[in-house]
Amino acid sequence: MTSALAVDGLRVLYNRSIIGLSDVSLSVEQGQLVALLGSNGAGKTTLLRALSLTLGYCRGHIAAGSMEVFGRTLSGRNPHAAVLAGIAHVPEGRRVFTRLTVEENLRAGGFAAKTARDRQRAKDRVFALFPQLAEKRNIRAGLMSGGEQQMIAIGRALMSNPDLLMLDEPSLGLSPQTIERVADAIRTVNSEGTTVLLVEQNAGMALRIAEYAYVLDMGRIVLSGESSELATSPEVIERYLGGV
Ligand code: ATP
């Protein structure tokens, strides 16, 4: 299998001194759906920011280590380079453009598509994945439910036809039923060939759909393994699955 993502010895600092990540190494194979679990402040968002080259906006920087995406070194401070490398980042809290319509939000994500045809194909894919977005394409995103806004955020990321989709806590604040819909959509995107890195505090959902998972704690990877193994690990059950 070709490696989609290879992170080696990554160390991230905020404001030149606060440790965001220390010595993080992980890999994701092409076509895999991998979860990254951890509680508040573990460093999950920091890893996604490093990979989407957006750390600079939060006064963060990479102090050591390397990142390879589909065999190519990823570096620099321009998020555009990450998009061109095939990465799309669905940020925590969705960050949709509330005053823009669904369709305008999607268009904003399609700037990196090479041709109008690619853009159209990406939009067709998003509307097939989330038919309710097609129905509400002319509605302003700010008027839509949290679940629908999450769908817009995922759809917007898919508009660049990414090879690697990274999602930051897509289940946050959603009802159990909506979480299932979002989980199904993530599974579908993955089954269509897109590699997925899923950051979640909802370990139950993440371990159900991911094949492999890493657990971060205080900026370090503390556990990793097949999801089925982690789901039965006493430590994971106690700390991340609410002891059930
Ligand atoms: P959460 O689920 O709360 O988002 P997380 O696992 O995503 O948690 P991060 O947000 O990556 O964790 O935070 C990792 C560490 O980096 C924490 O100690 C946090 O306080 C620190 N940190 C994150 N962003 C900044 C920032 N902009 N400036 C300073 N420190 C930061």
Ligand 1 centre distance from Cα of residue 142 (Å)? 26
Q: Check if 177 has its Cβ closer than 6 Å to any atom of ligand 1.
A: no
Tokens of residue 192, six digits: 């269509």
Supply the pLDDT for residue 118: 85
Q: Check if 149 has its Cβ closer than 6 Å to any atom of ligand 1.
A: no
Give one DSSP letter per residue of 202-233, joined into a string.
-HHHHHHH-SEEEEEETTEEEEEEEHHHHTT-
Which residue has a Cα nearest atom 1 of ligand 1? Answer: 40
Q: Residue 214's beta-bridge partner residues?
A: 36, 224
Per-residue pLDDT tens over the stretch 60-97: 999 999 999 999 999 988 999 999 999 999 988 778 88
* Nearest-angstrom CA–CA distance, 4 and 6: 7
Q: Check if 44 has its Cβ closer than 6 Å to any atom of ligand 1.
A: yes
Q: What number does the ligand 1 atom closest to the CA of 12 have? A: 16
Mutation probe of ligand 1 site: the residue of 46, 51, 90 with most atoms within 8 A of C-beta: 46
The answer to whether 126 and 113 are in contact (CB under 8 A) is no
Q: Check if 172 has its Cβ closer than 6 Å to any atom of ligand 1.
A: no
Higher per-residue confidence, 114 vs 213: 213
* Nearest-angstrom CA–CA distance, 102 and 218: 37
- In one letter, which amino acid is 100? L
CA of 163: how far to CAs of 88, 127, 128, 168, 235, in Å? Answer: 8, 19, 19, 17, 33
Flag the least confident range among 38-42, 166-170, 205-209.
Answer: 38-42
pTM for the structure as a whole: 0.94
Ligand 1 centre distance from Cα of residue 175 (Å)? 25
Q: What number does the ligand 1 atom closest to the CA of 59 have? A: 27
The answer to whether 208 and 198 are in contact (CB under 8 A) is no
| Average pLDDT score over the chain | 92
Question: What percentage of the chain has pLDDT greater than the value 70?
Answer: 98
Ligand 1 centre distance from Cα of residue 130 (Å)? 31
* Nearest-angstrom CA–CA distance, 59 and 235: 33
Mutation probe of ligand 1 site: the residue of 16, 18, 36, 201 with most atoms within 8 A of C-beta: 18
Supply the pLDDT for residue 237: 82
Pairing of strands 33-37, 212-217: parallel
Q: Check if 43 has its Cβ closer than 6 Å to any atom of ligand 1.
A: yes
Tokens of residue 122, six digits: 């990406």
- Assess whether pLDDT exceeds 70 at residue 243: no
* Nearest-angstrom CA–CA distance, 27 and 34: 9
User: With bands split at pLDDT 50, 70 and 90, how would you rate the model's confidence at 104?
Assistant: very high
Beta carbons within 8 Å of 156's beta carbon, 6+ residues apart: 90, 96, 105, 106, 108, 109
Q: Which secondary structure element, helix H or strand E, spans residue 149, and what is its range?
A: helix 146-158
Mean of pLDDT values over 194-216: 95
Supply the pLDDT for residue 73: 95
Phi, psi values for residue 16, rounded to 5° = 70, -5
Supply the pLDDT for residue 1: 61
Q: Check if 20 has its Cβ closer than 6 Å to any atom of ligand 1.
A: yes
Ligand 1 centre distance from Cα of residue 237 (Å)? 24
User: With bands split at pLDDT 50, 70 and 90, how would you rate the model's confidence at 164?
Assistant: very high
Flag the least confident range among 105-114, 187-196, 224-233.
Answer: 105-114
Q: What number does the ligand 1 atom closest to the CA of 46 have? A: 11
Supply the pLDDT for residue 242: 67
* Nearest-angstrom CA–CA distance, 244 and 234: 10
- Assess whether pLDDT exceeds 70 at residue 215: yes
Q: What number does the ligand 1 atom closest to the CA of 18 have? A: 30
Supply the pLDDT for residue 146: 92
Please, what's the b/e burial string for 180-204 (b: 16 or more CB within 10 A of its CB; e: otherwise)? Answer: ebbbebbeebbeeebbbbbbbbbbe
